[in-house]
Structure 1
Amino acid sequence: MHESREHLQTLTEIRSLMERSSKFLSLSGLSGVSAGLIALVGAAVVAMRLQTGLFTRFQPNPEEIYTQVNHHDQRQFLVTVAVSVLVAALLAGTYFTVRKAKRQGLSVWNQSSQRLLWAMAVPLAAGGVFCLALLYYNLIWLAFPATLIFYGLALHSGSKYTFRDVESLAYCEIGLGLLSLFWPGYNLLTWALGFGVLHIVYGLAMYYKYERTTA
């Protein structure tokens, strides 16, 4: 009986070592929380610029609310907000991830993190170009769900190289993006839910599941 326990413990340790070597496990739940909060701020800024509320349906046609952003300067404003949110979220995420890696005694830049970044980079790059094309042709209302869908695809692609919990977030982002295609009057709301609320919920769940017990 004692030998069986030792063998089980040995197998558990081997599995843990193999997982650490093949997956990037330094992602911090606080990265998701910070990204969600930053996204909500960005959504609020856009709502104020469009002079509409997050819960206000665009009337009478969803496209009409965007006629004021058909000019170059307004499109540039949306791109600026999107890039600012992305950069701020990446900086915050990097900070919390590096901090967690240091506590674990692990390196942030290794083969696992490189595989993760490459897996996510392809759908993110394709989605970025696609969304820029939508902005160029004034299809603003389609850009909101497109960002959710491509981001979800990127998460799904990268989930095999990190916590499997990321896969659940990926399905939620993709599903919300697809729903947003048929619910165009609330594109800004669904965008805020996807990048804001879902990130916060996911981040808190990851923190309490993997980090709080080891902090």
Structure 2
Amino acid sequence: MTDQNPHLDTLKDIKQMMERSSRFISLSGLSGIAAGICALIGAWFANGIIDNNKYAVTNLRSMPEDSNNSISIGDWMGNQLFQIAVFTFIAAFILAFIFTYIRSKKTNTPIWGAMAKRVLINVAIPMIVGGIYLLKLMENEAYGYIAPGCLIFYGLAVLNASKYTLDEVRYLSYGLLLLGIINLWYIGYGIYFWALGFGALHIIYGILMWWKYERTSE
């Protein structure tokens, strides 16, 4: 029995090396939690803006062209909602990077290796395409479809990158896609779907990932 232990340990080490070389495993559950909290805070501030300026987040195609409630693309890009979205994204990205960097040190995995580059590329393509599509929605004043569009394209980006990282990431993408599709039938409630998708789902995902992969190493 004792003679088998070294072989089992060797096989385990080889398996871990193969996993590290084929997947980006430095993603931290704390990154998901931090991103989710940032999203919920951003949604809370945005909800206050929406309550005071509901015309700015409705589907303005239903309004007359000469309506005083209509807004231009310049107005939309410069308003408080856009600023909140930008600051929320920056804060979530910085915190996610910090926690991922810390985990990469603990797992002795390069944070910027071949797998990290593949993840970035596979995330970037759907995000860039989605960004162009959402800008066209804004130009056509279809503001009610921006929230579900964000969830759907972000879900596709996460799904596209999941094959290069932890398997559980797929389930996060499924949840985002499902919420985005449901939101298409509930136009005007985008802020709540954002809070569920970018906030609650990320927090649940982060807690599960931390519990499964990081709890024993703390």
Q: TM-score, with normalisation over the residues of structure 2?
A: 0.87
- 1:184 is paired with a residue whose SS is coil
Match for residue 63 of structure 1 among 42, 59, 66: 59
Hey, what does 1:73 align to over in structure 2?
75
Contact 2:59 2:141 in 1 (8 A): no
Using a 3 Å threshold, how does the CA distance of structure 1 residues 7 and 69 change in structure 2: closer, same or farther?
farther
CA distance in 1, matches of 2:194, 2:70: 17
Match for residue 100 of structure 1 among 90, 103, 115: 103
Match for residue 149 of structure 2 among 131, 142, 146: 146
Hey, what does 1:37 align to over in structure 2?
37
Deviation sequence 1:68-108 (CA, Å, 0-9, x none):
57343244223322222211111010011111111222221
Deviation for aligned residue 1:36: 0.6
Hey, what does 2:192 align to over in structure 1?
189
Amino acid at match of 2:210: Y
Unaligned runs of 5+ in 2: 64-68
Amino acid at match of 2:129: A
Moved more, 131-140 or 5-14: 5-14
Contact 1:75 1:135 in 2 (8 A): no
Contact 1:29 1:202 in 2 (8 A): yes
Identical positions, percent:
39
CA distance in 2, matches of 1:183, 1:3: 63
Deviation for aligned residue 1:136: 2.1
Amino acid at match of 2:212: K
Amino acid at match of 2:178: G
Amino acid at match of 2:49: R
Q: TM-score, with normalisation over the residues of structure 1?
A: 0.88
Contact 1:25 1:162 in 2 (8 A): yes
Contact 1:33 1:204 in 2 (8 A): yes
Moved more, 66-75 or 32-41: 66-75
- 2:188 is paired with a residue whose SS is helix
Deviation sequence 1:113-159 (CA, Å, 0-9, x none):
11111111100111111112212222111000000000110111100
1:167 aligns with 2:163: no
* Off by >6 Å, runs of 4+ in structure 1: none
Using a 3 Å threshold, how does the CA distance of structure 1 residues 165 and 2 change in structure 2: closer, same or farther?
same
Hey, what does 2:66 align to over in structure 1?
none
Hey, what does 2:209 align to over in structure 1?
206
Amino acid at match of 1:30: L
Deviation for aligned residue 1:40: 1.0
CA distance in 1, matches of 2:106, 2:10: 24
Contact 1:33 1:200 in 2 (8 A): yes
The total of aligned residue pairs comes to 207
Hey, what does 1:11 align to over in structure 2?
11
Unaligned runs of 5+ in 1: 53-57
